[in-house]
Amino acid sequence: MGHDLSQDAEIWDDAYKLDRAHVFHSWHAQRNLDPTEVVTGHGVWLKYGDGREMLDFTSQQVNVNIGYQHPKVIEGIKKQAELLCTIGPDYANLARGRAASLVARRAPEGFDKVFFTNAGADANENAMRAARLFTGRDKILSSYRCYHGNTGAAISATGDWRRKPNDYSRGHVHFFTPYLYRSEFSATTQEEECERALAHLEHVIQFEGPDTIAAVLLESVPGTAGIIIPPKDYFKGVREITKKYGILMITDEVMAGFGRTGFWFALDDYDYTPDIISFAKGCNSGYVPAGGVIMSDPVAHHFDDIVFPGGLTYSGHPLAMGAIVATQEAMEEEHIVDNAYTIGKDVLGPQLTALYDKHPKIGEVRGKGVFWAVEMVADRTTKEPLDDATMKQIVAEGNKRGLILGVHNNRIHVTPPCVISADEATQGVKILDQVLTAAGC
């Protein structure tokens, strides 16, 4: 028998108590969790259970690019719900076809086919699967500074601590990607960092054996790892090396895609074309979970007569597809990607840089669009990361002042929805300024 439901009757209207009684949360030890109740939202604002309106500088998991409760997306989901809530992946369905077409047209020329998944991890799972089947090779090379999702191969491809307790998939090799602020290559300029990182990658490929490697999988901007903007020529160099050895290139646009960097895809700001692109989050801002893989024509055609051994009950789920269509259309009509670009260039970039001049515990400010990291250090010379207690205090001080801040290790990630206005962004940075002063930074 399960638990006694009559106990729940007493707490039926209490989100917090029900959560603590029955919800098991991701990535946490459960005992001391203290989740905040969220009731609703609009634009860049969330309404908490205690009635407070909070300015969201996180976009949750950096996915709510279009902001909360966008009326056109709600309408798109409603219309699709009235027409057809669910249908299996084998059928043709208008919302699915339209969603595929709208997503594929944001990719470079020659990317026409989309395989839909439920989210970003399974997008990468299937991107790696396609690359392995296409090349007949096994290994996937990825960065130590990356996150690709929490399923079998995706978590083994991940570089950070989350891989270690989950590392059961074979054929994953890691290498270092450019990060000038903490250079693995003793570089002092972006050019040096780029050149040395490329030489390092080629050595790793040679030592691993090029004919064992299916793909190099890279985030177009490593996100969770620190919003580390790669040097201008890095991907072009990776493309040359991978071509030389017959290795595919998979670009993970799950976090950086759909406006986050001020471009539809972050790769648009670089001069290269990968073979496979994975996406999720911003494609419909998570209004209904969805992700997918966009395949270049050679990869897609490889499976014209060979079975692709991958599938999901909800691949191309109509409600998720309706949300993608409405999101993509609204983002275009309302110039939301341009807004993200301008906010980055004219507001967040200059204003966060001004905070660097004022607060000695800021080690570096980097980013573009609505995708910024403020890296906090105990000392600018040693670059020793700021301690966890102060980082926690920063979140708490933000919370007191109505600002939701995302902190990852010693970094504050400033990643508001792409729809944020200049006034709202300025308001948030002003609060961040007060927060840093209050935390003694």
CB of 63 to ligand PLP, least distance (A): 7
Residue of this chain nearest to ligand PLP (CB atom)? 120
Stretch of 141-149, 195-203, 229-237, 300-308 contacting ligand PLP, by CB under 6 A:
141-149
Contacting residue, 64, 95, 121, 194, with ligand PLP by CB under 6 A:
121
- By beta-carbon proximity to ligand PLP, the closer residue of 262 and 435 is 262
Q: Which parts of 57-96 interact with ligand PLP (CB under 6 A)?
A: 61
Contact between 126 and ligand PLP per CB under 6 A = no
Could you say whether residue 294 binds ligand PLP (CB under 6 A)?
no
Does position 252 interact with ligand PLP (CB under 6 A)? The reply is yes
Among positions 254-293, residues that touch ligand PLP (CB under 6 A) are 254-255, 280, 291
Contact between 224 and ligand PLP per CB under 6 A: yes
Q: Which is nearer to ligand PLP, 160 or 195 (CB)?
A: 160
- By the rule CB under 6 A, 340 interacts with ligand PLP: no
Q: Of 121 and 325, which has the nearer Cβ to ligand PLP? A: 121
CB under 8 Å to 403, separation ≥6 — which residues?
54, 55, 57, 428, 431, 432, 435
Q: Give, in degrees to the nearest 5, the angle at Cα 191 between 189 and 196.
A: 95
Distances (CA, A) of 309 to 151, 212, 301, 312, 313: 17, 21, 15, 11, 14
Element (H, E) at 296: strand 291-296
Shortest reach from residue 77's CB to ligand PLP, in Å: 18
Which residue, 41 or 286, is less far from ligand PLP as judged by CB?
A: 286
Instruction: Please report, as residue ranges, which positions from 4 to 63 form the binding site for ligand PLP (by CB under 6 A).
Output: 61
> Minimal distance in Å, beta carbon 132 to ligand PLP?
18
Task: Examine residue 160 and tell whether it contacts ligand PLP (CB under 6 A).
Answer: no
Max Cα–Cα distance, the chain, nearest Å: 66
Question: Given CA atoms 116, 327, 62, 105 in this order, what sign does their dihedral have?
Answer: positive
Residue 183 token pair: 């250079």
Q: Which stretch binds ligand PLP (CB under 6 A): 118-126, 201-209, 314-322, 333-341?
A: 118-126
Which amino acid, residue 433?
D
Residue 120 found at the interface with ligand PLP (CB under 6 A) = yes
Encoding tokens for residue 368?
């573009």
Among 70, 96, 148, 361, binds ligand PLP (CB under 6 A): 148
Shortest reach from residue 374's CB to ligand PLP, in Å: 19
Q: Which two tokens stand for residue 201?
A: 């990658």
- Residue 180 DSSP code: G
| Residue 119 makes contact with ligand PLP by CB under 6 A | yes
145 makes contact with ligand PLP (CB under 6 A) = no
Residue 351 phi/psi, 5-degree rounding, is -75, -35
Q: By CB under 6 A, is residue 147 in contact with ligand PLP?
A: yes
CA distance 310 to 126: 7
Helical H runs in 216-317?
A: 234-244, 297-302
C-alpha 385/C-alpha 361 separation (Å) is 9
We find the least distance from the C-beta atom of residue 417 to ligand PLP, in angstroms, to be 16
CA 207 to mean position of chain CA atoms: 31
Residue type, 249: M
* DSSP 3-state of 46: strand
149 binds ligand PLP (CB under 6 A): yes
Number of residues that bind ligand PLP (CB under 6 A): 16
**Closer CB to ligand PLP, residue 114 or residue 121?**
121
Structure tokens at 174: 């890691």
Write down the least CB distance from residue 333 to ligand PLP, Å: 26
Give start and end residues of each alpha helix (H) in 303-402.
Answer: 318-333, 336-342, 349-358, 388-400
d(CA 434, CA 428): 10
d(CA 221, CA 253): 8
Residue 126 or 351 with smaller CB distance to ligand PLP? 126
Comparing CB distances to ligand PLP, the nearer of 222 and 429 is: 222
Contact 420, 370 (CB under 8 A): yes
Question: What residues make contact with ligand PLP under the rule CB under 6 A?
Answer: 61, 119-121, 124, 147-149, 219, 223-224, 252, 254-255, 280, 291
